[in-house]
Chains A and B, each alone.
Chain A
Amino acid sequence: MSTAAQIVVQDLRLAYGHKEVLHGISFDIRRNEIFGVIGPAQSGKTSLLRCLNRTIDFTPDTRVTGSVLVDGEDVRQTRNVFALRRKIGMVAPLPVGLPMSIYDNVAFAPRCAGMSRKSELDGIVEQCLRQGALWDEVKDRLDSLGTKLSGGQQQRLTIARALSHQPEILCLDEFSIAIDPVTTMRIEDVLKELRRNMTIILVTNLTQQARRLADRTLFLWKGAIVELDRSEVIFSDHPGNRQTYEYVNGIFG
């Protein structure tokens, strides 16, 4: 089962107004793999993730064609978009602590999904905060406002929050920009644990991070796929495409 494709993207095109940012890309993501996505700014990485959980819908004047299948279901035709989003955990590059307590931030998604038993919620909050490497720092002040945490802590809060509804797919969009290297390493260790239970899509500007974590890596450039291969190949001295080598080694881009 572990090699079966969980997410299949077929000829996905996305345009903001008249500006096409994804030019018909196709690839698949396997169950329980860590899938790295690298590429310079404006290459369509974030847009790709937003197509996946349909948060792209909130941006007016967008046009999406092609299909994204998650577990065989086209996300654009899905009946219950809320269930789809609960299946996908999303960590945005800029941390957004919701204006409520730390506890409520993490308990938000389970509560929305209908969980109300205090003991269950307590368990989830603790587990997720531990996975987000934040528990030790905030366990004594779970009642204080999530928005008052520092940037890095808020980022880890959003990671904990993304895990709180036990997603099957976890999308991390440059999760480590506001986090120090030591904590980043701790979270990376957690990710290695988590992959046993979920598929992880790791969008990152740190090519070394993709090299450390990802099983396969996709190099996206200006809305098109340059190369998709096992990370050993992408980060080797002889990837399939010269551009990949230059980008990964800082020669171009």
Chain B
Amino acid sequence: MGDGFGGGPASPGVLNPKAEIRKPKEIRKPKEIRKPKAEAASKLGRDMSTPQTDRAVADGFAVRRATRPAWAVLGERALEVLIYLCGISAIVFVLGIFFFVFKEAFPILGNKQFSLSQFLFSEQWHPTSELNKRYGVLAMIAGTFSVTALAMVIAVPFGLGAAIYLSEFCSGRVKETLKVVIELLAAIPSVVWGFIGLTVMSRLIVKYTGAPVGVNVLNGGIILALMSVPIIVSIGEDALKAVPDSYREAGLALGATRWQLVWRVLLPAGKTGLLAAVLLGVGRGVGETMAVLMATGHAVHIPHSPFDSVRTLTANIAAELGEAPANSDHYQVLFLTGVLLFLMTFVVNLAADLIVRGIRRK
């Protein structure tokens, strides 16, 4: 009796009162406690299912209350642990990289011939000189900053504008086509960009600006901007897409024009994501190596105009690490440059984080 449909519908009158008596207890107590009273004589297996079956049928609902198998519960637990490890691994990797780079650079800090203030504030870089070694990276810091700044001045308005256009103003086939093209742009290897800078762009710059050399801050800035724009566009577009449609509808229903909607609702709502887009662009600008190595002229020199050639921190490491004997002073200074780059990125991220929090509090 009482197994599935067999007993249930046949004797609803008998089962109903039982169910009603049992109900209040179920709410208060876990399964195990009510069972002995309901069907004391049954085996555990039957005990698990039978009272539930009876009650459910009596109530006219599903035949059996669903219970999840043990493997599903355990599997879920295992997945939880796994994604926890994935999350933690980010921290482990960052610390690990920092530790390794710093370990290689550390001995130079104890070297009497090396001074940290010279490293940071001198523009003299003569690592291979026999008589007068100088390890000053100021010119390269200036190079990195100038190229990145120029690139961002070009790329941020362009990238955000394109993201807004893609997300809000164009639709259908145009949008799909543009997205594919932009993703294609993002997939071009940086050495190819560098090659374009070295050949096409440098010739254009010489031709139209009359600059003595075509490989300079302007060239590197434009190339970097072209490399950053696809990233800013695709992440910016995602950020805008993440703004709920209900905001759009509410804003427009209040009589806002599309541009007012973008300016007053979507940009504030998507600011965190948009800032992330810009930051990834900056990150690319600071970290990009090969393209700027080829496009900026590689001269250790603080730039005075966009037409001066510069060398960036990253390009310097890439160009010289292969020639520096392992564990020599030169080698260690290059690693110290790596630490510096690391700290710069950290400061940029931290600043952005604080800015976002500031905006949010307001």
User: Are B268 and A100 interface neighbours, CB within 8 A?
Assistant: yes
Give Cα A96 to B252, complex, Å: 12
Distance (whole angstroms) from the CB of B256 to the closest CB of chain A = 4
Residue of A nearest to B266 (CB): A99
**Contact count band on B:** 10 to 19
Residue of A nearest to B270 (CB): A99
Q: Mark A11-55, 1 if CB is under 8 A from B, else 0.
A: 000000000000000000000000000000000000000000101
Interface hit among B44-52, B118-126, B204-212, B242-250:
B242-250
Contacts of A164 in B (CB 8 A): 254
Interface members, chain A 118-166 (any B CB < 8 Å): 158, 161-162, 164-165
**B257 close to chain A: CB less than 8 A:** yes
Contact partner of B264 (CB less than 8 A), chosen from A86, A96, A111, is A111
Using A99-B265, A111-B264 as known contacts, say yes or no to A83 and B247 having CB atoms under 8 A apart.
no
**B327 close to chain A: CB less than 8 A:** no
Give the residue among B251, B254, B268 with the most A Cβ atoms within 10 A.
Answer: B254
**A169 close to chain B: CB less than 8 A:** no
Contact partner of A165 (CB less than 8 A), chosen from B247, B248, B255, B269, is B255
User: Are B249 and A108 interface neighbours, CB within 8 A?
Assistant: no
**B42 close to chain A: CB less than 8 A:** no
Contacts of A98 in B (CB 8 A): 247, 250-251, 265, 269
- What is the total number of residues of chain A having a CB less than 8 Å from a CB of chain B? 24
User: Are A58 and B255 interface neighbours, CB within 8 A?
Assistant: no
**B260 close to chain A: CB less than 8 A:** yes
User: Are A55 and B254 interface neighbours, CB within 8 A?
Assistant: no
Contacts of A96 in B (CB 8 A): 244, 246-247, 249-250
Give Cα A107 to B255, complex, Å: 12
Residue of A nearest to B243 (CB): A99
Contacts of B257 in A (CB 8 A): 82, 112
Contacts of A111 in B (CB 8 A): 264
Contacts of A162 in B (CB 8 A): 254
A58-B252, A99-B247, A100-B264 known; 12 new pairs, CB 8 Å cut-off, are A55-B249, A85-B252, A90-B253, A92-B250, A96-B247, A98-B251, A98-B265, A99-B268, A109-B254, A109-B256, A112-B255, A165-B254
List residues of chain A with CB under 8 Å of any chain B CB: 53, 55, 58, 82-83, 85-86, 90, 92, 94, 96, 98-100, 108-109, 111-113, 158, 161-162, 164-165
